[in-house]
Chain A
Amino acid sequence: MKEFALMMIGAALVNNVILARFLGLCSFMGVTTRVDTAAGMGLATTFVITVSSMADWAVQTYLLNAYGLGFLRTVTFILVIASAVQFTEMTIKKVSPSLFQMLGIYLPLITTNCAVLGVALLLVEGRMGFLASTMFAFASSVGYSLVMIIFAGLRERLVLANVPRLFAGPPIAFIVAGMLAMAFMGFSGIATS
């Protein structure tokens, strides 16, 4: 149990998908202009990462490993991820049309969000069991959502700040992202995973 807790903290905070592994930076800069959009994106990505990691684990264990088809890994994983994203898109369109409008192009782009494929490939590398890999994927995506929401909150305040003209907009956002990454380095002592 303690191992699980440590692993989840490690995945969410210490080896954060965005700030430590630098995955999924497109949506990190793209949809973090407002907190509610960022939270919606985080929720959608959490769902996609968790579901596709579960499916990817099954594919890896019962298909790729069992029949020696390891070279098909990227293609099959992308296939699974794309289906999960498509499903999420349909659900969001049905449940919350306004969130669907706000996320816009970034919703189908979860397919190419390297955080999703990155987590799936990390799981293969780690050779974890089903429960452990699902937990790891969920914790990673929670870390992703957390950083998205924190960064959106920062950017909402940045809009009101008196930033020098040349730094206004994306430049100051990148600088703040770097500071946030440095702040997250402080977690590296918590858990050694």
Chain B
Amino acid sequence: MLMSVGSLAVMGLTLGSVLGVASRYLAVEADPIEAELQAMLPGSQCGQCGYVGCAQAAAALAKGEAAVTLCPPGGKATAEALAARLGVKVDLSKVSDKGPEIAEVTEEICIGCCRCMKVCPTDAIVGAAKQIHNVIREACTGCSSCVEVCPTEALGMMPIAVTLQHWTWPKPASAHH
């Protein structure tokens, strides 16, 4: 009993310390900014910036290879946040910010082909073959990948309508602009 517990404990300790020393020598210096930038991006991997996904875009941003205005779905808010974090000045007048948008299905012309469901990075579209699809508003990040694949143009980007449920007073700072 003692022998078996002891031998396992000694083995574990030895192997653990070997790994600990190895991790010291083999440590990879990851850019801590990269993870932080990635958290600021929408994370829907839509690829509109020209990079494969948000991780690659964040890496390019950290190296200074990409402009902070690269993310169309992120809009002004993301560009501002990225610029503040990286300490660069940015001309926000060129960023077209249509306000937050989400995809919407025009139900009269949806043929239920399921193509939009397959490309949605956040699984925000529900439906089945030959059934009208619909968008779950809470899950849509507005990357507009579905708009391109829709064969009948039933999908479009709509500004999020202000409803009684989520209307708020404008903040004093933004009221100035």
Question: Which residues on A are within 8 Å of B, measured CB to CB?
Answer: 59, 63, 67, 69, 71-72, 75-76, 79-80, 83, 86-87, 90-91, 93-94, 97
Contact with A along B1-42 (1 / 0, CB 8 A): 001100110011001101100110011100000000000000
Of all chain B residues, the one with the shortest Cβ separation from A101 is B55
B8 touches A75 (CB 8 A): yes
Q: Given A94-B26, A94-B28, is A72 in contact with B4 using a C-beta cutoff of 8 Å?
A: yes
A76 touches B11 (CB 8 A): yes
- For the residues of B in contact with A, the DSSP-based class is helix
A residues near B4, Cβ cutoff 8 Å: 69, 71-72
Total B residues in contact with A, Cβ cutoff 8 Å: 15
Complex CA gap A127/B113 in Å reads 62
Complex CA gap A75/B11 in Å reads 11
B18: contacting residue among A69, A83, A93, A94, CB under 8 A: A83
A93: contacting residue among B3, B19, B28, CB under 8 A: B28
* 16 CB < 8 A contacts A-B: A59-B11, A63-B7, A67-B3, A69-B7, A71-B4, A75-B8, A76-B11, A80-B11, A80-B15, A83-B19, A87-B19, A87-B22, A90-B22, A90-B26, A94-B27, A94-B28
Complex CA gap A187/B18 in Å reads 41
Q: A75-B8, A83-B16 are in contact. List 6 more A-B contacts (CB 8 A).
A: A69-B7, A72-B4, A76-B7, A76-B11, A79-B12, A90-B23
